[in-house]
Chain A
Amino acid sequence: MTPTLLGRWQTRILLMETVGLVVTLLFSGGILGSPESAIFLWLLQYIVVFGLGWDYVYIQIQTFRWDQDWPAALQWLAALWEGVFIVLLIEIVGVKLPGTAEDWHLGWFIVHYSFVWIAVFVTSQSLMRLIFPRWRFRGGQWL
């Protein structure tokens, strides 16, 4: 992938709020065995909002790479970091993010986050290209 900043933002928002949302509803509805709770929906929004900031950081890192690219492997490392960041905020720093005060459970967060991320990644590697034939030439911009 060779994303642009706008492309990162657009793709993140679109995929998280569609594919990511569907997966999240499975969790918040308790269908996959998790406690029925709105916290998953809140967490999804935090992943999106913090991610918009992280995308800016990634674009800066990308400029050090000769190909100005972002391999899938780096996408995974970034995803790992974003998950760890939220855990750090809540568990270690103890920040009280609105909506996360109740029902926070580290184990379920890891499962939920992994499912969301894998669904988003797989979609971005396949369906996204089929629905938006210009997407790959525009650094991830679909609008």
Chain B
Amino acid sequence: MSTIPGQVRLSWQDPVTGEQRSPLLTCPIAFGREFARMPAELNNHRVARIVLNSSQVSRYHTLIEWVQGHIRVTDQNSSNGTWVNGVLQPSCNVSNGDLLKIGPYEITLMFTLDGTGLPTAEASEQSIIQVPEPDSPVPAEPAAAPANVLPPACQAHQVVVQDLYATQLPVEEIDYLAVGAGLGSFIWVDFLRIFGAAPQQIRALGIENRPYARYQRLCLNSQIPPHERLRSNSDSCPDNIWGWPGYALREAWHEFNKGKLNPALQYLWQVFAEPTFAQTYTPRAGNVFASIDREAVRIGWPQIYQFGRVRAIRQTHDGRYAIAYSPGRKQTAFVVARYVHLATGYPVLQFLPDLKAYREQTRDFKSVVNAYEDHNHVYETLERQGGTVVLRGRGIVASRIIQRIHEARHRNSNIAILHLMRSPKPKGNRFRKAQRPVDNHFEFQPFNWPKACWGGTLRDELEQATPEQRTNLLADWGGTTTADRKDWKEIVQQGLDQGWYQITFGEVTRVVPNAQSRPTTYIQEKGPRGEIKLEADFIIDATGLDSKVKASPLLNDLVTHYNLPLNPAGRLAVANDFELLEMRNQNGRMYGAGAITFGGPYAAVDSFLGLQYTALRAVDGLVAARAPNLRRLNGIGSLLQWLKWAQNQAP
């Protein structure tokens, strides 16, 4: 609690990374795109300067001051204006709970005029939980533990390979090594194989033998069963580097062979007319997994994959990399490779601070859950005895949960959803001449980025931009969105009409158990109602995943040991071909892929198609570096490889 008048708790969700920010600052507070353009001092008071990255934000945009017992917001002649509670305001006094909109940033202001009783909030960085894992003989390290399982030979800046042999521990030498063995690794290995590398030259280290194992678990937990459709394009095919034939054509063909002409034509029409004249086609989860299984056998993945939890990565003195891993409990082994690819996915789940605090205080892990955890008990209980769910977050996962609860209502109509949103969403993000559509406070976009981020004008523009411009562009294109699905819109409209689905806006101040030990959410509404109380049986946090490098013990050790730079989003800094330039070691090369490289040259790193783009750039880089057995794939050679794919022959 604070006692200084003029103190304001700002709270917003970062449009680039989705992280929750909630600093407590003392007026005057300035907002703008350029730190140096904002005043350092005003009337002998030090100014708290907040940089908001977006081309919609002016260099010096808005000032918040403490004037004669009031908090006053004043626009600084910005190009796009300052909006308070949805109204354009050159200058006005604000009250507790008011919403400030500056470009794509929506900032809630919380304060008390005498400075007492301000809600406290945790720093977002601690508010994470581990990604659910299968039962494994080798447990993950606690996040803080250093790589102390390693022999002293590994503590050097560059290890000597003979020293590894001297430990008597198993050592394997190989050309190509993929760390993670998830989807990103699989796609890189697919490219290596098709570009000419043999299975004996490649090793993939991970803790699950199916490349999609972790992805599938996150899908199932977040309510995407095998027959449901994912959020990706027809030609985002992790099993096919050319993206042809896409899943729509395959599914249409399949239906056609079963004599079902109508669905076949519908899929083809969808890919033809999407997203303007038809709903975007997306493949069924089960079909994608089956196709990956086929490709895995074709490229020899079972031979390439090896179980192991990777503990540390070091350069060797002879221009390679030594990777220490645990093949079993309390065991250590090494792989030495010249070309290394890191794709370890999301290290942790983001968890709203108030919900995490609730779980820690009450030890109740059943009523308050994260959408990416296994939480089927919620739906089972609701189907049995009815109840109320408070839902937080408004992205695609929130949509899935609403759909799942709608299904549960067929079994028990006594179920209600209170959808808690931080602020109304009357209008979508703007980028130059374009604007994102909105309906019922949901912002729509077919995929998690505007389409041209994968291979169009926006990809080009981001790659050419400076690091600072990149952050601006990502803020303009980013933000939470869901897919424009007809069934979802109908469910929401029906729920609103029938009253079992309600949207409430406000900033959560605390979540505490009530007398019946049910989680009760207190929220700060703007206007006279002030604090209101929401009682529920369950709270589901559907706000997201976190991929900050510091959250992964493996990456954190790598970054600290080699003093690697991070990009402005706090992820690994990579070159345009995804090489970690600072890790280059004579002929040795190290590349990154997936969420751990977000914030750099490419927006859609965490997607099937993005992983294929990344792998293509990285393997092209390896061809240029004359890595063994790789040949550039193009023209007739590419066509011949595709024919092998079509006939299910090894590359």
Q: Name A residues whose Cβ lies closer than 8 Å to a Cβ of B.
A: 2-4, 59, 62-69, 71-74, 125-127, 129-134, 136-139
Give the distance in Å from the alpha carbon of A130 to the alpha carbon of B235 in the complex.
13
Q: Which residues of B contact A129 (CB under 8 A)?
A: 235, 242-244
Q: Closest A-chain residue to B645, C-beta based?
A: A130
Contact A65 B460, CB 8 Å, known A71-B273, A73-B273, A133-B241: no
Q: Closest A-chain residue to B602, C-beta based?
A: A137
Q: Is the CB of B458 within 8 A of A68?
A: yes
Give the distance in Å from the alpha carbon of A59 to the alpha carbon of B235 in the complex.
23
Report the number of A-B residue pairs with Cβ-Cβ less than 8 Å: 105
Give the distance in Å from the alpha carbon of A129 to the alpha carbon of B234 in the complex.
14
Give the distance in Å from the alpha carbon of A137 to the alpha carbon of B633 in the complex.
15
Q: Is the CB of B242 within 8 A of A4?
A: no
Stretch of B73-81, B393-401, B429-437 that contacts chain A: B429-437
Q: Is the CB of B434 within 8 A of A64?
A: yes
Which 4 A-B pairs rank lowest in CB-CB distance, beginning with the nearest? Answer: A2-B456, A68-B452, A67-B451, A137-B455
Choose one: B242, B271, B457, B460; the contact of A72 (CB below 8 Å). Answer: B271
Q: Is the CB of A2 within 8 A of B638?
A: no
Q: Which residues of B contact A126 (CB under 8 A)?
A: 244-245
Q: Which residues of B contact A62 (CB under 8 A)?
A: 457
16 contacts between A and B (CB under 8 A): A2-B454, A2-B457, A2-B458, A64-B433, A66-B437, A68-B451, A69-B450, A69-B452, A71-B273, A72-B272, A73-B277, A74-B276, A130-B244, A131-B639, A133-B633, A139-B460
Q: Closest B-chain residue to A132, C-beta based?
A: B634
Contact A133 B272, CB 8 Å, known A68-B450, A138-B455: no
Q: Is the CB of A137 within 8 A of B459?
A: yes
Give the distance in Å from the alpha carbon of A10 to the alpha carbon of B458 in the complex.
18
Q: Name B residues whose Cβ lies closer than 8 Å to a Cβ of A.
A: 235, 241-245, 271-277, 428, 431-437, 445-446, 450-452, 454-460, 613, 616, 633-636, 638-639, 642
Contact A2 B452, CB 8 Å, known A66-B436, A133-B634, A139-B460: yes
CB of B597, distance to nearest CB on chain A (Å): 16
Q: Which residues of A contact B244 (CB under 8 A)?
A: 125-126, 129-130
Give the distance in Å from the alpha carbon of A28 to the alpha carbon of B454 in the complex.
40
Q: Closest B-chain residue to A76, C-beta based?
A: B272
Choose one: A71, A131, A136, A137; the contact of B635 (CB below 8 Å). Answer: A131
Q: Closest B-chain residue to A61, C-beta based?
A: B433
Q: Closest B-chain residue to A64, C-beta based?
A: B433
Q: Is the CB of B272 within 8 A of A4?
A: no
Give the distance in Å from the alpha carbon of A130 to the alpha carbon of B644 in the complex.
12
Give the distance in Å from the alpha carbon of A127 to the alpha carbon of B638 in the complex.
11
Q: Is the CB of B616 within 8 A of A137?
A: yes
Q: Is the CB of B273 within 8 A of A133?
A: no
Q: Which residues of B contact A73 (CB under 8 A)?
A: 272-273, 276-277
Give the distance in Å from the alpha carbon of A68 to the alpha carbon of B476 in the complex.
14
Give the distance in Å from the alpha carbon of A138 to the alpha carbon of B576 in the complex.
14
Give the distance in Å from the alpha carbon of A88 to the alpha carbon of B275 in the complex.
31
Q: Which residues of A contact B613 (CB under 8 A)?
A: 137
Q: Which residues of B contact A136 (CB under 8 A)?
A: 235, 243, 455
Q: Closest B-chain residue to A67, C-beta based?
A: B451
Q: Which residues of A contact B275 (CB under 8 A)?
A: 67, 69, 71
12 more A-B residue pairs beyond the given contacts A71-B272, A129-B235, A136-B243, with a C-beta to C-beta distance below 8 A: A63-B432, A64-B434, A65-B434, A67-B275, A71-B273, A73-B277, A127-B639, A129-B244, A130-B639, A130-B642, A136-B235, A138-B455
Q: Which residues of B contact A134 (CB under 8 A)?
A: 616, 634
Q: Is the CB of B456 within 8 A of A69?
A: yes
Q: Which residues of A contact B451 (CB under 8 A)?
A: 2, 67-69
Q: Is the CB of B638 within 8 A of A63?
A: no
Give the distance in Å from the alpha carbon of A63 to the alpha carbon of B428 in the complex.
16
Contact A132 B638, CB 8 Å, known A63-B434, A68-B434, A126-B244: yes
Q: Closest A-chain residue to B638, C-beta based?
A: A133
CB of A129, distance to nearest CB on chain B (Å): 5
Give the distance in Å from the alpha carbon of A59 to the alpha carbon of B244 in the complex.
25
Q: Is the CB of B433 within 8 A of A133?
A: no
Choose one: B241, B432, B445; the contact of A67 (CB below 8 Å). Answer: B445
Q: Closest B-chain residue to A138, C-beta based?
A: B455
Give the distance in Å from the alpha carbon of A66 to the alpha carbon of B476 in the complex.
11
Q: Closest A-chain residue to B194, C-beta based?
A: A133
Q: Which residues of B contact A74 (CB under 8 A)?
A: 276
Give the distance in Å from the alpha carbon of A96 to the alpha carbon of B465 in the complex.
47
CB of A57, distance to nearest CB on chain B (Å): 14
Q: Which residues of B contact A63 (CB under 8 A)?
A: 432-434, 457
Contact A139 B459, CB 8 Å, known A66-B450, A67-B450, A133-B633: yes
Q: Which residues of A contact B616 (CB under 8 A)?
A: 133-134, 137
Q: Which residues of A contact B445 (CB under 8 A)?
A: 66-67
CB of B631, distance to nearest CB on chain A (Å): 13
Q: Which residues of A contact B241 (CB under 8 A)?
A: 133
Give the distance in Å from the alpha carbon of A129 to the alpha carbon of B272 in the complex.
17
Q: Which residues of B contact A138 (CB under 8 A)?
A: 455
Give the distance in Å from the alpha carbon of A87 to the alpha carbon of B135 in the complex.
69
CB of A61, distance to nearest CB on chain B (Å): 10
Q: Which residues of B contact A4 (CB under 8 A)?
A: 456-457, 460
Give the distance in Å from the alpha carbon of A133 to the alpha carbon of B242 in the complex.
6
CB of B471, distance to nearest CB on chain A (Å): 19
Q: Which residues of A contact B276 (CB under 8 A)?
A: 71, 73-74
Contact A66 B242, CB 8 Å, known A2-B452, A131-B639, A139-B460: no
Give the distance in Å from the alpha carbon of A65 to the alpha carbon of B454 in the complex.
15
Q: Which residues of B contact A132 (CB under 8 A)?
A: 634-635, 638
Q: Which residues of A contact B460 (CB under 8 A)?
A: 4, 139
CB of B476, distance to nearest CB on chain A (Å): 11
Q: Closest B-chain residue to A4, C-beta based?
A: B457
Contact A68 B274, CB 8 Å, known A133-B242, A133-B616, A136-B243: no
Choose one: B271, B456, B634; the contact of A139 (CB below 8 Å). Answer: B456
Give the distance in Å from the alpha carbon of A65 to the alpha carbon of B274 in the complex.
13
Give the distance in Å from the alpha carbon of A137 to the alpha carbon of B241 in the complex.
11
Give the distance in Å from the alpha carbon of A72 to the alpha carbon of B451 in the complex.
14
Give the distance in Å from the alpha carbon of A71 to the alpha carbon of B281 in the complex.
12
- Most chain B CB within 10 A, of A3, A129, A138, is at A129
Choose one: A68, A72, A127, A130; the contact of B456 (CB below 8 Å). Answer: A68
Q: Is the CB of A139 within 8 A of B635?
A: no
Contact A3 B242, CB 8 Å, known A66-B445, A73-B277, A133-B633: no
Q: Closest B-chain residue to A71, C-beta based?
A: B276
Q: Is the CB of B433 within 8 A of A71?
A: no
Q: Closest A-chain residue to B432, C-beta based?
A: A63
Give the distance in Å from the alpha carbon of A139 to the alpha carbon of B459 in the complex.
9
Give the distance in Å from the alpha carbon of A117 to the alpha carbon of B112 in the complex.
67
Give the distance in Å from the alpha carbon of A129 to the alpha carbon of B553 in the complex.
40
Give the distance in Å from the alpha carbon of A69 to the alpha carbon of B275 in the complex.
9
Q: Which residues of B contact A64 (CB under 8 A)?
A: 433-434
Give the distance in Å from the alpha carbon of A81 to the alpha carbon of B272 in the complex.
18
Q: Which residues of B contact A131 (CB under 8 A)?
A: 634-636, 638-639
Q: Is the CB of A66 within 8 A of B455?
A: no
CB of A69, distance to nearest CB on chain B (Å): 4
